[in-house]
Chain A
């Protein structure tokens, strides 16, 4: 049984079994640990990882019904806030965590340096992965996002109903090529945002739809809520 012997795995296993049979239980355990600790530890790690991944896959949460990112918002829009609860009541939704308002995002795209900002990177990642459905932000940030092509043209078929309903509030962005693209809805006078300290300056407040969204129905309901009395 020297290292590098040409025995098959079955033959080696048989030989090892014979060796162990002649030992006491303690001796056998010591022998197995001394010669096979690496495969044992490796197998334990593999089993742990397999169980972890199976559990994670089985328990993974459903995709959110609506995920809105509030850029530069210092007000409380978490699940404990009145704003959140009001919206759930308006949309007749249960509080099951399917609606997410993320206000942990702070950047200002009027500064070129903020394109390297962590929160901006986070927002871009969320948009591209389809995590975020809509953004609420100030004008410069809306234009910065439109410049990168990350917000939906409201003339797109996915936002057709929103465009029709809120035509008078649409804000355009002109591309380098001179194309005029409707990219945001002006919600500066939203009665629902009145109580908030954020979005009160001359920059105004706009809602943009993610360019990576499949269906904007929930965004439309949210917009209806923002602009309702």
Chain B
């Protein structure tokens, strides 16, 4: 009995040590970013891997970056991008997911295979045709241009279709008997039951919108319409060797996501558990 307890204790310690070790590995880039932001340029670029902490702590990089870049505007653009992408993705995926999951219509399987096919193609393939579309309607350098590729989502449609398929048919039948038409049974009976999947999709969409670099870089070249990701990428060219400023800007750019995570921590974890995906 005693030896079993000791064994469990040892097992728990080993598990904790392994978890702490991997947590540290995950945290190192973040800590390195923060520490580099407080270094001087010469100290940040010197080749000595053992100098982790700054010898002289300076917040000069933060103040320079804050005055050089309009962070309030970048935050605004990023939040608008996230908000509209989440709204559009959840709305269209819910409607399409319900149609594919619960309704019978001609060509359903063929259309759904087209949705799945879209998931198998690399995103880069769509960049040029999407840019051509946005450019031809004269909407480059707008918030609409940023949101455009996220209006519909193949992954979201698939996720919500699976969620609707998991609901009992009797619920819908009862709603129909009570006089609901298709739209009413979707809106008042079925969609509230897929709330956790919608939240998961919303969180995935928000994270992907926040870290999306390629599309914002292509479609919005104006500094006034860039989200944080694209604005940080432009810094790399202009200040190629100024790592403290780059790291300070990256640290400031992390703030909205950290705040979002702290506010919706429970939903983030539920979202990952619901969809089985990784962020």
Instruction: List residues of chain A with CB under 8 Å of any chain B CB.
Output: 2-4, 38, 52-53, 56-57, 60-61, 73-74, 76, 100, 102-104, 106, 116, 118-119, 121-122, 124-126, 128-131
Contacts and interface: CB of A to CB of B under 8 A. Distances in A.
Contacts of A60: 138-139
Contacts, number: 66
Interface in B205-244: 213-214, 217-218, 221, 233-234, 236-238, 240
Interface string B122-164: 0010011001100110111110100000000000000000000
17 contacts: A2-B179, A4-B179, A56-B142, A74-B237, A74-B240, A102-B221, A104-B233, A106-B237, A116-B124, A118-B217, A118-B218, A121-B124, A125-B128, A128-B128, A128-B132, A129-B131, A131-B140
A122 B218 contact: yes
A4 B181 contact: yes
Given A2-B179, A3-B180, A56-B142, A125 B127 contact: yes
B184 interface: yes
Given A4-B179, A76-B238, A118-B214, 20 more contacts: A56-B138, A56-B142, A57-B138, A61-B141, A74-B238, A74-B240, A104-B217, A104-B233, A106-B237, A116-B124, A118-B233, A119-B217, A121-B218, A122-B217, A124-B128, A125-B128, A126-B131, A128-B128, A128-B131, A129-B136
Contacts of A125: 127-128, 131-132, 218
Interface of B: 124, 127-128, 131-132, 135-136, 138-142, 144, 179-181, 184, 187, 213-214, 217-218, 221, 233-234, 236-238, 240
Contacts of B233: 104, 118
Contact of B135 (A3, A38, A124, A129): A129
